[in-house]
Amino acid sequence: MDQTRVMRASVVEEASPGPATGYALELRSVSKAFGGLRAVDDVALAVRAGERRALIGPNGAGKTTLFNVISGELPASSGTIMLFGRDVTRAAVHRRAALGLARTFQITNVFPSLTVLENCLLAVQALSPVKLAMHRPLGRYADLHAHARTTLEAVGLGGRAGAIVQHLSHGEQRQLEIALALAGRPRVLLLDEPTAGLSPAESQLMAGLIKRLDPAMTVLMIEHDMDIALEIVQHVTVLHYGRVIADGTREAVKANPLVREIYLGA
């Protein structure tokens, strides 16, 4: 665990220089075009450290594409992406992760033939130099195991550590999805429909889990279930055809006539 702490400390140090805008995540006129289609069109977004914000919009609004651009899986066509005041527009995915950015996937993206514990260990060692160690079996790293167990306990998978992931229920796989993102103790967390495919009861558990996250963590979440989203966040950004059409407190967005018309259908 010490090694991980040291690593986190160095990451923070690395991230702190640069203009202090006060925003954890800032997008300046970011666009992503696929040929003639502008899936993300001139999006500006500024999320303060510790803020909980939902990104909503109809299907095909460009929400997941925007997540892929923020995390670096897709390069932005234009615009600037700042993480804690540092320009990461051209940075590789793993560099952004090292700066404290973590994400989950809408379609569960875990390691199906490995055990739950191994999945979590992969996430735990990801930001530490230990990941390149090849001279000792992983079993010798008791600190990594302890951290992985703690993370699994936190998402309610403590009793399933030895199970092979492909044998888990869908709900459990969604919990693991969150565990993998949390294991690296991120400072900015992108959640892509954490309740996708969950039953109402499971969704409530997931909402509770997200509400209990460290208040210092910045959370940006895509969520289709408005009740869940509004229960967790204070701020909402509405995306429509790749553009931001509303941005504000949940009350303001709820009252916005444009939003009511195109999204809430009322």
Partner 1 sequence: MSSGLAAPAPTLDRKVVAGFAALTLAGVLAPALPAYPLTLLTQAAIVAVLAMSLDILLGYTGLPSLGHAAYFGIAAYTVAILATERQMGLAGCLVAALLLATATAALFGVLAIRATGTYFLMITLALGMVVWGLAFRWVSMTKGDNGIAGVPRPGLGLGWSLAEPLPFFYFALLAAALAWAAMGVLVRSPFGLGLKGIRESESRMRALGYNVWLHKYLAFVISGFFAGFAGVLWAYYNGFVGPADVQLVTSVETLLMAALGGPGTLAGSALGAVAIVFLKNFVSVYTKRWLLILGAVYIGVILWAPRGVLGAFTREPRGAR
Closest CA to 27 of 185, 188, 144: 188
**Between residues 28 and 149, which has the closer beta carbon with respect to partner 1?**
149
Examine residue 180 and tell whether it contacts partner 1 (CB under 8 A): yes
What's the distance, CA 206 to chain centroid? 14
Residue 162 CA neighbour count, 13 Å, CB half = 0
Q: How many C-beta atoms surround the C-beta of residue 102 within 10 A?
A: 24
Q: Six-digit token pair at 149? A: 């167990």
Residue 263 as a binder of partner 1 (CB under 8 A): the answer is: no
- Under the binding rule (CB under 8 A), the answer on residue 233 touching partner 1 is no
Name which position in 24, 110, 222, 238 contacts partner 1 (CB under 8 A).
110
Residues 63/106, Cβ–Cβ less than 8 Å: no
The residue type of 15 is A
- Tokens coding 17: 């220089």
**Segment holding 11, helix H or strand E:** helix 2-15
From the list 52, 63, 145, 235, which residue makes contact with partner 1 (rule: CB under 8 A)? 145
Query: Does the protein bind partner 1 through residue 71 (CB under 8 A)?
Result: yes
| Residue 89 makes contact with partner 1 by CB under 8 A | no
Q: Amino acid identity of 105?
A: F
Among 19, 35, 36, 162, binds partner 1 (CB under 8 A): 162
Question: In this chain, which of 164, 209, 213, 226 binds partner 1, going by CB under 8 A?
Answer: 164
Residue 126 touches partner 1, criterion: CB under 8 A:
yes
Query: What's the token pair of residue 66?
Result: 């925007």
Q: Which of 2, 20, 113, 265 binds partner 1 (CB under 8 A)?
A: 113
Among 77, 80, 106, 115, the residue binding partner 1 under the rule CB under 8 A is 115
H runs (alpha helix) in 38-126: 63-71, 93-98, 116-125
Residues of this chain that interact with partner 1 (CB under 8 A) are 71-73, 92-94, 97-98, 102-103, 105, 109-115, 118, 121-123, 125-127, 130-142, 144-146, 149, 159-164, 167-168, 180, 184
